[in-house]
Amino acid sequence: MTKNIVTGAAGFIGSHLAETLLKLGEEVIGIDEFNDYYDTFFKYKNITSLQNYDKFQLIKGDIQFLDWKSLLKDVDVVYHQAAQAGVRASWGQGFRFYTERNISATQVLLEAAKDAKNLQRLVYASTSSVYGDAETLPTSEQICPKPVSPYGITKLAAERLCGLYHKNFGVPFVGLRYFTVYGPRQRPDMAFHKFYKAVIKDEAISIYGDGLQTRDFTFVSDAVAANLSAAIVEDAVGEIFNIGGGSRVVLKEVLETMEEIVGKPINRNHIERAMGDARHTAADVSKAKRILGYQPQVSLTEGLTREWEWLKRLY
């Protein structure tokens, strides 16, 4: 039986990952700060299902100030999902939350990981935001990262720190660059959650720019599967992988699919393009397929339907 730590365990992806591990009979220590970047109601709701498992332990606290030496003593795998998310909020006054929660917290964890004798793997949740406006689509891991947001810069800095600790101290790190993850428990500041909530409340949705931007959307269970593979595949250590949904879709078409799912038209309100938003994202996932055996399972229509069912119950 493996003993795992999931940071950001009350978050969107972290809670799904922790739940999947618990269902597999593994032991999970969930760590979360429960900060107020979005309503903590959602975070507490996310962990209610986890607390039914006797192999789950929750630690509330800031990663920078925990006793990592004793926490990591007999831990096999750390899934580092905790981060200060959000591209648009990373400009201005809030930037220090990004440096603290994305860079400093990761460095503290890595410092402890280099001395952790039992640690088999540290899986770091990175992001497609490190690529910025990539000139090549679909984008492979060989493309030089050029973030276009302060958020992307802090995530890339933490990813590079992981690489340094791997190279210099042998920390068994694997990086996963997620491309727009969606599904049940999606954060309330994320597009699909906002769109569906607007439908339920009969409001217009705000579209940044012309609606012709494209994204590679990844269903949350596919992101979880990638984490589980990254934790056990030997050849993954020291590598970085794109984790995408396997198809690039125009936002306008996503909205048409959503309209079919909800059974009515969605009113749109076009607003100015947001600073720091990449125009197009598309993941070349051939490396993840080859080494991790990664294979996205959930189509966009199915995934959007599942998220809609969840949000109807929520609101």
Q: Any alpha helices (H) in 176-269, and if so which ranges?
A: 191-200, 220-232, 251-262
Return the axis-axis angle of helices 220-232 and 12-23, rounded to nearest 10°.
Answer: 60
Q: Check 38, 124, 131, 151 and give the catalytic one.
A: 151
d(CA 134, CA 242): 13
In contact, 283 and 244? CB cutoff 8 Å: yes
One-letter identity of residue 302? E
**3-class secondary structure, 100:** helix
One-letter identity of residue 88? R
Query: Who's near 201: CB < 8 A, 6+ residues apart?
Result: 315
Backbone angles phi, psi at 26, to 5 degrees: -90, 165
One-letter identity of residue 213? Q
d(CA 69, CA 175): 22
Burial of residue 198 (number of CB atoms within 10 Å: 0-12, 13-18, 19+): middle
Find residue 79's DSSP bridge partners: 6, 123
Examine the residue annotation and report whether 151 is marked as an active-site residue of this protein.
Answer: yes
Backbone angles phi, psi at 175, to 5 degrees: -105, 135
In contact, 208 and 171? CB cutoff 8 Å: no
Residue numbers annotated as active site: 151
